[in-house]
Amino acid sequence: MVVPLEYFLILSSALFSIGVFGVITQRNAVRILIAVELIINAANINFVAFASYNPVGDISGWIFALFIIAVAAGEAAIGLAIFINVFRNYGEIDVGHLFTLREV
Amino acid sequence: MASEILLGKTVLISPFIGAVIVSILAFLHYSRGNKHEGHDSGKHDTHEEHTSIHYTRFENVVSTFGILSILVSWLSMVLLAINYLPGEEHETLQSQFGFFGFKEGGTPDIPFGLLIDPLSVYMGLIVTTLALLIHIYAREYMHGDAGYSRFFATFNFFTGVMLTLVFSTSFLELFIFWELVGLSSYLLIGFWFYKPAAAHAAKKAFLYNKIGDITLLAGFLMLYRYTRTLDFVELPAKMEALTDQQIAIVAVLIFGGVIGKSAQFPLYTWLADAMEGPTPVSAILHSSTMVKAGIYMVARVFFIYYEAHDGHNVFAGAEWALTVFAWIGAITALLAGLQALVENEIKRILAYSTVSQIGYMAIALGTGGKTAAMFHLLSHATFKALLFLTAGAVIHAVHTNNIWEMGGLRKKIPKTFWPMLIGATALAGFPGFSGFWSKDAVLLAAYESKVPGHLVIYYLGALTAFITALYSTRFIYVVFFRTPDPEHKEHVEKAHDGGFFLTTPSIILGVLVLIESILFIPVFNFEHWLNEILEPEVKPEAINYVVAGSSAIIVLLGIFVGLVLYHWKPELRTSLYNIDAFNWIANEFIAKRYRIDQVLYWIANAPVMWVAGILQSIDLKIIDRTIIDTWIVKGSLQLAKISDVFDQGFIDGIVNGVWQIFLYFGRQFRKLQTGLVSNYATIFAATLVLFLTYVNFLVLFK
Amino acid sequence: MVFYWYLSILLWLPLIASPLTYMLSKNKVGWAKWSATIITFVEMIYSFVLWMLYTSKDRFGDKYVTGDGFVFLEKTDWIVVGKIKIYYALGVDGLSLPLIALTTVVFFASMISSFYIKEREPLYYSLMLLLEAGVMGTFIALDLFLFYIAWEVVLVPMFFIIAYWGGPRRKYSAFKFFIYTHLASLFMLIGIFILYNEGGGTFYMPQLKTSLSTYADVGRLIFAFYLLAIGFITKFPQVPVHTWLPDAHVEAPSPGSSVLAGLLLKMGGYGLIRLGVWLLPSSVFTDPSSHVRLVLALLGMISMAYTAFVALSQKDMKRLIAYSSIGHMGVVSLGVASYTSEGINAAIFMMIAHGVISPALFLISGVIQHNAGTRDMTVLKGLGNKMPITSTLMVFSGFASAGLPGLAGFVAEFLMFAGLFKSDMFGYGDTYFWITVVALLSIIVVAGYYLWMLQRVVFGQPEGLEVEHDGHWYELMPLWLLAFFILFLGWFPFVVLKVTDEFARTIIPI
């Protein structure tokens, strides 16, 4: 059975929407990070799906997906490091309380 | 030829070398740390003795070099003059170079150099001889003066300049040295510069001269305009081509120069004030040589007035100028003579007498007697230099200038008395003395001439001869014969003759006057000889016994009246002065120089200062303050203010408006920045949605 | 290969030395004056060498670069933008050569007499060197663009010299000087552009001269002449745009005044002769519809007569000398107006003569101020006894300025009057005649105020003045130098006139 492309796209859209919802609504930084990972993976699904359904057989979509995974790993590492530092300095990682860059 | 030119150059250059040597000596003397001696002494033609041996030695060295240089000049002059004795061929020599260095063609260059002809040799001989004698005199006379070296340097400089004037070959050269003798006159009158009177007199002399100089400059520049040359040798041939009007302009303007330099009416008062200078200066500059420069110049350029080939034909244009000149001479002679009659200072008497005698020469020139003028110039130069030297010796002896503070000096200073008596006799024109013969020649020229009103001029001249005899008698009598007033007896008693250098020159000059007196007797034909070398184209006048006889009588009458008034009947004088009108004329009018100075002040000095003041305030208040400050600066300021309003209201308004708008929006927009990550994320997401919707719409509704 | 940079050396030596002097003497303040003095001395000697080379140009002509009527010609492209081509062109002829020599002499004298200055020495001397380069550039530039740059460069150092080292009202005077001359030179700039336009688009003067003489329209050239003349007569200056001069002179330090009077005024005269007379075709002067000569003659006459009177009522010595400068520059105007070779020679010679006389007088007034403490002639009295050398030099220079024969000023005045009398002066009817008469009479007044000044300052007994000694060596040495030149020019005018006459002949052959 051939799964149609639309299913993958719907999945990725759902994942993306959940991710965006998470980023907007969550106040815990780790949760936001997880939501961002969801968004990234939504994009990954799209890349891989389009690459599989490509009639020419171009594999650049897969390569992009690999790059994104690597970059996402790095991003997660740096993000976590930042949060650890934030936690050390402020004792919490609630982004609702971290507004020192706010316009006074 | 060449040797004569060389001699001529020696004559001119030697005095200048003397001046330079004296200056160097003075420089060495003072740079060795010798202080100027007697700086602040405000003395008046008398001498406080600076007798430090050192200074006297310096004086001797300086004067020796000064006199030596003049001696060299005099010797060369005599050698030069030997070629111009009667019977020799008189050629005109010229040695010249272009003063301005203009190349050939186009602008005519003006020659500069040496013109040797009988006239210049004659005048040069007079100048060098007198300069030599007066230098010797000054050696002792200036003894002890703080400015001894300065005096000799300037005096030598004057001699050189005067000689160069005499030998000049073009109008430009003559004019340059004409003004330079004015400069040396200025420096020598103001010799005792710390005396305010001397400073004032020096300035006055230079300015009065300058007025004449400017007319002279205009005169010969007009000549340049018409003929394109200023060369004395080339000019005579070109004169014929000029129109009457042109000649008239040139002739009158050149006489203007003579009036300034030779102290003619109305510019003669400076000469009396010039007596503030030392006596040797008065003796050579202001009586015998410098003031004669005008007369000499007219004689030099006689071709402007009389046709060169025939000395008796007046150019029609020049006739009027000559008449005016003769009249000015006659008026000057009379006025100055009268003034000498009421003057009390001995040097001033002699100064006015000089003016009066130069008036005679002007009469002679105006009536066509070039020879007569030069003849009188010679005799007057000799006896007037003599009179000044002796007057200086008198002042030296009694330390006063006023004749009424002297008296009975005949026995005290015989070596001064006898020469002075000879000089005064010659001045008075006592029959047989040099002054008589030369004055007779002048009167004859006036009598015989064709100038309108020449007889009146002759009568005025004769009247002046009477006055001359009168004042000569007066001052000789008062100084030497009268019993001195009791209060002045003291210094008269102490009077004694000067030393060798002070008396010898006057004795030599006295002898010269006597020699001249003999030489001038018509038997020896001096005047004819002079006529022959100076203007051979003119036939000399035969002696006129009417003129000669009448002038002899007039002179004797003058001396007689003088003796009556001052010796036999002095009370007559008192009764004369008791007449109010006479008293007023004598003391208020004549003694105050006919108010000429006041008149000149009111017509020249006062308006000039008035105009100067007005222009000064115009300059400050109108041009600088009103026009520039008010109109331009204030106007610019007004313009600036208007621009300022425009600038701030409009241009700045636009600019300000723009930034205010941005500021407002900025203030609004910055509220968006909450610092909350979720807000940013929301905005980001919303924007993304909006963007994607937009893209969708674009795709869908294409 | 021929040696090429005769004039560039002259121009660049002070220009390069100016910043170097400032930098090198940062720590050793005393070096500045010696460095500047040595530079100006070298310049002076070098300009004399150039003079000698110039006078032997007929014999060794091929050794120097000559062309377009100029000697030591240097011409290279400088700025080329589209059709506009600007050359770096230098050269001298009979007009500029004497002025170059004058520049170096006056600067040397002024440098030495500046030794009394103790404030901000390095800046002062470097500005003076910059000033020398600017003046020099004005005189030798053959390209109008370069000429204008040099002309404007001069303003800056002079402004600062007045504004920093001047008297009590120095700020006012400096601004007045700057505004007047700068505004006037803008008019000149417009004139230059008209010439550029009319002359077929070149700034190179010899080329412009040729093309102007063949193509241009006289009416427009006369208009251009008036525009140029506004720039020049403000610089000389002539009445009625003269009032900046007395103020600037009075407030400037005396070496500054001497440069101002000796050289900056001459730039105006040079411009008038170079651009007005030489560059423009003679039709500007001789065309029947042109009243250029009359206007110039009237300006000159008014300046001579008017300033003679105004000077008479001055109390400050420097003001008096400043007014007399205006009068003397009137001789330049009248000489040019006569439009005879005598007149042109007189104008150039007057610039040289006045260029050595007026610095001497200004320096003397400086000496008197430093040693007697005042320049007020109502207070000064009897300096003859206290300061004999200064007084002697003052009498000397005063007479020179009053036009005594045998000194420099007379030659110029005589030639000017000879030119006026020779020119067809009655072409304007009586007007020209009266101009001459007034100019002649004003000479008497000039003599009058100088004699009066001498009588007040030198003669008499000093009262209430504390004068200890005569001037210092560095005050008197430049005066002797200038006095030498005054005397030399008075007796050997042909040294200069031979050179200037060549130039005058190229304009007016007869």
More confident residue, C491 or C59: C491
Under 8 Å between Cβ of B352 and B283? no
pLDDT over threshold 90, residue B649: no
Main-chain phi, psi angles of B607, to 5 degrees? -60, -35
Residue C103 to residue B533: CA distance in whole angstroms: 54
Q: Do B674 and A96 touch (CB under 8 A)?
A: no
Q: Do C243 and B183 touch (CB under 8 A)?
A: no
Q: Are strands C66-67 and C84-92 parallel, antiparallel or unpaired?
A: unpaired
The answer to whether A104 faces chain B, any CB pair under 8 Å, is no
The yes-or-no reply on C/B contact (3 CB pairs or more, < 8 Å) is yes
Measured CA distances, C392 to C9, C395, C458 (Å): 38, 5, 9
Q: Do B685 and A24 touch (CB under 8 A)?
A: yes
The strand order across the sheet containing C84-92 reads C66-67, C70-81, C84-92
What percentage of residues in chain C have a pLDDT greater than 70? 96
Task: Name the token pair of C61.
Answer: 């002509």
Find, in chain A, the residue whose alpha carbon is nearest to that of B668. Answer: A103
Kindly compute the dihedral angle of the four CA atoms of residues B378, B379, B383, B386, in this order, to the nearest 10 degrees.
30
Rounded mean pLDDT, B111-137: 88
Half-sphere exposure of C199 (CA within 13 A, CB side): 25
Residue B599 to residue B651: CA distance in whole angstroms: 69
Taking phi over 0 as left and psi of -120 to 50 as alpha, with beta for the rest, B314 belongs to beta
Residue B310 exposed, middle or buried by CB count within 10 Å (0-12, 13-18, 19+): exposed
Residue C95 to residue C504: CA distance in whole angstroms: 8
Instruction: Give the pLDDT confidence of B494-505 residue by residue, as tens digits.
Output: 777 778 888 888
Main-chain phi, psi angles of A94, to 5 degrees? -80, 115
Instruction: Give the pLDDT confidence of B576-590 residue by residue, as tens digits.
Output: 778 777 777 777 777
pLDDT over threshold 50, residue C145: yes
- pLDDT for B48 equals 45
- pLDDT for A72 equals 92
Confidence category of residue B40, pLDDT binned at 50, 70, 90: very low
Look at B14-23, B284-293, B486-495 and tell me which has the smallest mean pLDDT. Answer: B486-495
Distance from CA of B685 to the nearest CA of A (A): 7
Instruction: Give the pLDDT confidence of C406-456 residue by residue, as tens digits.
Output: 899 899 999 898 888 887 655 666 777 888 888 888 888 888 889 888 888
Instruction: Give the pLDDT confidence of C156-210 residue by residue, as tens digits.
Output: 999 999 988 988 888 888 888 888 888 888 899 999 988 888 887 888 998 888 8
Distance from CA of C418 to the nearest CA of B (A): 6
Under 8 Å between Cβ of B356 and B375? no
Find, in chain C, the residue whose alpha carbon is nearest to that of B213. Answer: C444
Those chains having 3 or more beta-carbon pairs within 8 angstroms of chain B are A, C
A24, A101, A102 ranked by CB distance to B681: nearest: A24
Q: Do B102 and C404 touch (CB under 8 A)?
A: no
Distance from CA of B74 to the nearest CA of C (A): 25
- pLDDT for A56 equals 78
Rounded mean pLDDT, B249-267: 87
* Three-state secondary-structure class, residue B402: strand
B671, B675, B678 ranked by CB distance to A100: nearest: B675
CA dihedral over C261, C263, C269, C272, signed as positive or negative = negative
Q: Do A102 and B676 touch (CB under 8 A)?
A: yes
Look at B313-327, B625-639, C21-35, C483-497 and tell me which has the smallest mean pLDDT. Answer: B625-639
Residue C444 to residue B531: CA distance in whole angstroms: 38
Q: Do C459 and B101 touch (CB under 8 A)?
A: no
Instruction: Give the pLDDT confidence of C264-315 residue by residue, as tens digits.
Output: 999 999 999 999 899 988 888 888 778 888 899 999 999 998 888 888 888 8
Q: Do C404 and B107 touch (CB under 8 A)?
A: no
3-state SS string over C43-87? Answer: HHHHHHHHHHHHHCHHHHHHHCCEECCEEEEEEEEEEEECCEEEE
- pLDDT for A9 equals 92
- pLDDT for B41 equals 42
B678, B682, B685 ranked by CB distance to A95: nearest: B678
pLDDT over threshold 60, residue C323: yes
What percentage of residues in chain B have a pLDDT greater than 70? 91
Kindly compute the dihedral angle of the four CA atoms of residues A61, A64, A69, A73, in this order, to the nearest 10 degrees.
-170
Contacts of C461 in chain B (CB under 8 A): 40, 42, 194, 196
pLDDT over threshold 50, residue B46: no
Confidence category of residue B47, pLDDT binned at 50, 70, 90: very low
3-state SS string over B173-213? Answer: HHHHHHHHHHHHHHHHHCCCCCCHHHHHHHHHHHHHHHHHH
Confidence category of residue B42, pLDDT binned at 50, 70, 90: very low
Q: Do A32 and B682 touch (CB under 8 A)?
A: no
Mean pLDDT of chain C: 87
- pLDDT for C225 equals 92
Residue C171 to residue C126: CA distance in whole angstroms: 20
Query: Per DSSP, which regions of B201-299 are E strands?
Result: none
Confidence category of residue B606, pLDDT binned at 50, 70, 90: confident
Distance from CA of B533 to the nearest CA of C (A): 32
Those chains having 3 or more beta-carbon pairs within 8 angstroms of chain C are B
- pLDDT for C110 equals 93
- pLDDT for B541 equals 67
Residue B641 to residue B634: CA distance in whole angstroms: 10
Residue B202 to residue B207: CA distance in whole angstroms: 9
Q: Enumerate the H helices of C166-217 as residue ranges.
A: 170-198, 205-215
Under 8 Å between Cβ of B254 and B301? yes
Half-sphere exposure of B663 (CA within 13 A, CB side): 6
Q: Indicate the pTM of the whole model.
A: 0.81
Contacts of A23 in chain B (CB under 8 A): 678, 681, 685
- pLDDT for C140 equals 93
Give every residue of chain A whose pLDDT is below 50, as ranges. Answer: none
Interface test with C, best of B221, B222, B226, B631 (most C CBs within 10 A): B221
Rounded mean pLDDT, C69-81: 84
